Amino acid sequence: MKKLAIIAGSGEYPIIFARSAKEKVKEVIAIAVEGQAAAELEKEVDRIYWVGPGELKKLAAIFLKERVRDVALVGKISKDILYKGSLKLDEEAKKLLEGTSDRRGDSILKSFADKLESFGINVIDATTFVSEYIAKEGIFTERKPDEKERQDIDFGISIARRMASLSIGQTIVVKNKDILAVEAVEGTDEAIRRGGRLGGKGIVVVKMSRPDQDMRFDIPVIGTGTINTIAEAGGSVLAIEKDRTLFFERDPAIDIAEKNGISIVAV
């Protein structure tokens, strides 16, 4: 692979991905989504272009100019922008949405990825170049979940997988074998905060991928931001899916967890 384009959303994921890709790809360009991607991304790539989340014609023009053949979709794009009046969609973006079966995140991303593939652009596995960050089975913190928390984890996993399979969201918040919050349009952090407000101290957060997860996009990701949010919400456990979750900023995230009595486990 001589050239790679990264369509970048928010978070550390695009920055880490670009840095790792640069070690193996001759030329890396970023197409950064305005209002989502971090300005720091520019330091990690050869060139950067900024596009609005509804500017597909501009995106296509960049692909033609750069002769892009391989692209990665990394980082989060807040889905709530669909419900804010400030979002402007060009004609191509409108056609894409109209041709999508529904407005769930996975449905939109799959339509977008399939559209790119139809033009001969290869959408690569979103864990390419960052496979060392995939969480393996085990407990990452000194504190292990107690028996009650284990029961909440087991209960939460089955529910979270069902929610993910319906493309509702990847994260649920549990306490005493009861569901306090399910992630939807608002995203992981807001779901955790809502669960914390309802359940108080000792909530258990479970994050799972779809059983048929398309590895081209929307891979479960955690990092310091996730752990900080759990700490603020009074959480005691974060359970993630082994072999399918990217765990970035691992050492500082574990430090935050240890200081706040949070157990991190991949199951």
pTM, rounded to two decimals: 0.92
Task: Give the CATH number of domain 3-123; options: 3.60.21.10, 3.30.70.260, 3.40.50.20, 1.25.40.10.
Answer: 3.40.50.20
Give the percent of the chain with pLDDT over 70.
100
What's the first-to-final CA gap in the chain, in angstroms? 34
Rounded to 5 degrees, φ, ψ at 213 are -50, 125
- pLDDT tens, position by position, 178-226: 999 999 999 999 999 999 999 999 999 999 999 889 999 999 999 999 9
Q: For the domain 134-266, what is the CATH superfamily, name and number?
A: LpxI C-terminal catalytic domain (3.40.140.80)
For 10-59, write each residue's pLDDT tens digit: 999 999 999 999 999 999 999 999 999 999 999 999 999 999 999 999 99
Q: How sure is the predictor about 261, in pLDDT bands with cuts at 50, 70 and 90?
A: very high
Mean pLDDT calculated for residue range 71-77: 95
**What does the domain layout of the chain look like in residue ranges?**
3-123, 134-266
